[in-house]
Amino acid sequence: MIEPQDIRLFEARRGFLTGLAYRILGSVAEAEDAVQDTFLKWSQADRAVIAHPEAWLTTACTRRSIDLLRAAHQVRVDYVGAWLPEPLQAEAGDAPDAALELSSSLSVAFLLLLERLTPRERAAYLLHDVFDQPYEEVALALGVQEAACRKLVSRARQHVGDGNVRSAVPPVRQRALLAAFQEAVASGDTASLALLMSDDIELRTDGGGKVQALLAPLSGKAPVLDFIAGRLNLYWRAYTWHLTWINGGYGALLVDAGHIVASVSFACDAAGRATGIFIMRNPDKLARLAAPCGL
């Protein structure tokens, strides 16, 4: 039987574990499964012999998340259209780990970069470079030698690079971008939005093969603006907009007949220009979102 103090210890660590699992998996549902599996393992363990409970929980959650990510690999390979992480409806300070400085590592752009990594590279990189865990503890969590752990992190850094995807964009700039996007969809006039976009902007939509969505990303300012003015203006004009927090930044939920039919979030460069527009249409990934959640 698990004791109350052991439950309290786990709950004090839940936010960290959930934040770690979400970043590894890119899925709220799978992250919750990983954390619940970790709790079950914790409740069945001989806790009296566990000298460092926090490290033990990190190890258990990391390894379970890696297992789930490996299991999800073929699903993502066979995915219909562009795959996007499940949106996390949380302000930076309300993120699962409740640490403001970690908010940039929740961005959709950053999570997409992590898709370049193997499961172990991804976990090692997150634990060391995002959560500031020392190499010794990361190696323990992954069950590898410290030298091997350093190589995992080094390879991950090479694959991820800079990309400015973790640049802090002022909230006023994010609001201006969202307002310009909403106006472009409503009116079909994209002039204001164009001024806030980079030339190499990319737009991705995720329908999961269940609703209409682009099967491949759109790249370049002109194609993206044409899509917004020609397609979104036609189909989204009647939707109700709710401003909200998505993956640590300003975004919006689109509602039709009381149902959330899309979420929108952005990536920006260091100058605050939009480099990515991410539209979630997959109903399974929208199911956990709630509207309204105004800013």
CATH number at residue 222: 3.10.450.50
Whether residue 100 is predicted with pLDDT greater than 80 in this model: the reply is: no
Torsion sign over Cα 108, 113, 119, 122: negative
Residue 102 is predicted with a pLDDT of: 59
Classify residue 294: in a domain, yes or no: no
Whether residue 101 is predicted with pLDDT greater than 80 in this model: the reply is: no
Last residue of a domain, one of 160, 185, 203: 160
Same domain, 180 and 42: no
Classify residue 291: in a domain, yes or no: no
Classify residue 96: in a domain, yes or no: yes
Q: Quick one: tokens of 14?
A: 């839940």
Same domain, 39 and 126: yes
Last residue of a domain, one of 107, 125, 160: 160
Distance CA 288, CA 90 (A): 12
What is the side-by-side order of every strand in the sheet holding 249-256?
A: 218-219, 197-206, 274-280, 259-268, 249-256, 240-246
Residue 294 is predicted with a pLDDT of: 46
Same domain, 282 and 216: yes
What is residue 79's DSSP assignment? -
Distance CA 46, CA 48 (A): 6
Which residue is associated with the tokens 């660590």?
13
Same domain, 38 and 122: yes
Classify residue 295: in a domain, yes or no: no
Classify residue 293: in a domain, yes or no: no
Classify residue 292: in a domain, yes or no: no
Same domain, 152 and 176: no
- Phi and psi torsions of 98, nearest 5°: 55, 35
- Mean pLDDT, all residues of the chain: 91
Same domain, 247 and 216: yes
Distance CA 267, CA 285 (A): 19
Same domain, 180 and 151: no
Per-residue pLDDT tens digits for 193-202? 999 999 999 9
Per-residue pLDDT tens digits for 230-255? 999 999 989 999 999 999 889 999 99
Classify residue 91: in a domain, yes or no: yes
pTM: 0.91
Same domain, 179 and 224: yes
pLDDT (average), residues 104-129: 94
Distance CA 23, CA 248 (A): 13
Quick one: how far is CA 244 from the chain centroid?
A: 15
pLDDT (average), residues 64-89: 93
Distance CA 190, CA 184 (A): 5
Classify residue 154: in a domain, yes or no: yes
Same domain, 71 and 212: no
Same domain, 139 and 214: no
Q: HSE-up of 28 (CA within 13 Å, CB side)? A: 17
Residue 90 is predicted with a pLDDT of: 72
The total number of structural domains in the chain stands at 2
Same domain, 234 and 137: no
Q: CATH no. for residue 71?
A: 1.20.140
Helix (H, G, I), strand (E, B) or coil at 9: helix
Quick one: how far is CA 159 from the chain centroid?
A: 18
Parent domain of 218: 171-286
Whether residue 166 is predicted with pLDDT greater than 70 in this model: the reply is: no
Contact between 256 and 245 (Cβ < 8 Å): no
User: How wide is the angle at C-alpha 21 spanned by C-alphas 19 and 24, nearest 5°?
Assistant: 110
Per-residue pLDDT tens digits for 276-291? 999 999 999 999 998 7
Whether residue 64 is predicted with pLDDT greater than 70 in this model: the reply is: yes
Distance CA 32, CA 37 (A): 9
1 CB neighbour count, 10 Å cutoff? 4
Residue 271 is predicted with a pLDDT of: 84
Which residue is associated with the tokens 């990303």?
217
76 CB neighbour count, 10 Å cutoff? 11
Distance CA 55, CA 141 (A): 8
Contact between 265 and 249 (Cβ < 8 Å): yes
Last residue of a domain, one of 107, 138, 160: 160
Whether residue 39 is predicted with pLDDT greater than 80 in this model: the reply is: yes
Same domain, 97 and 120: yes
Per-residue pLDDT tens digits for 174-192? 899 999 999 999 999 999 9
